[in-house]
Amino acid sequence: METLEFALEGRQSVPDFEAILVGVVGSGNLEVLVEKGPDPARCTYSIHTSAAGFGAIWAAVIQSFQARHQLGGVAVSINDMGATPAVVSLRLDQAAASIPRLA
């Protein structure tokens, strides 16, 4: 098990919202939990993955997502059981679409 942490600047601060959960942790999949974060100018990411050694790939996927959505004031928690980068991007986009201001 590996834990990765990222904090990226964001330009789109979001209003208060209820926690959002997308996906299911299982063989080859993951879940994404999105909650209101403490810093309106940053989006934090906490990733718990069963596939160790893929930090550079995770960084690329997270940076791409953040560049598209520019989230601020959001905390993202990911529990991964070996999902592909395409599935990670899909789940992150699904979660972002559920945030009230972005829907």
**CATH number of the domain within which 15 lies:** 3.30.230
pLDDT tens digits, residue range 66-100?
Answer: 999 999 999 999 999 999 999 999 999 999 999 98
Please choose, from the candidates 87, 64, 66, the residue with its C-alpha nearest in 3D space to the C-alpha of residue 76: 66
Please tell me the predicted confidence (pLDDT) of residue 26: 81
Residue 48 has pLDDT above 80, yes or no: yes
In a domain, 9, yes or no: yes
Q: ∠ at Cα 67 (8, 62), nearest 5°?
A: 60
**Helix (H/G/I), strand (E/B), else coil: 75:** strand
Please tell me the predicted confidence (pLDDT) of residue 103: 46
Calpha distance 82→97 (Å, rounded): 23
Domain ranges, residue 8: 2-98
Please tell me the predicted confidence (pLDDT) of residue 13: 86
Give me the helix-helix angle, 55-69 and 85-98, nearest 10°. 30
Please tell me the predicted confidence (pLDDT) of residue 91: 96
In a domain, 8, yes or no: yes
pLDDT tens digits, residue range 5-16?
Answer: 999 999 988 889
Please tell me the predicted confidence (pLDDT) of residue 12: 86
In a domain, 103, yes or no: no
In a domain, 45, yes or no: yes
- Which residues share a beta bridge with 76? 34, 45
Q: How many domains does the chain have?
A: 1
In a domain, 67, yes or no: yes
Calpha distance 103→52 (Å, rounded): 33
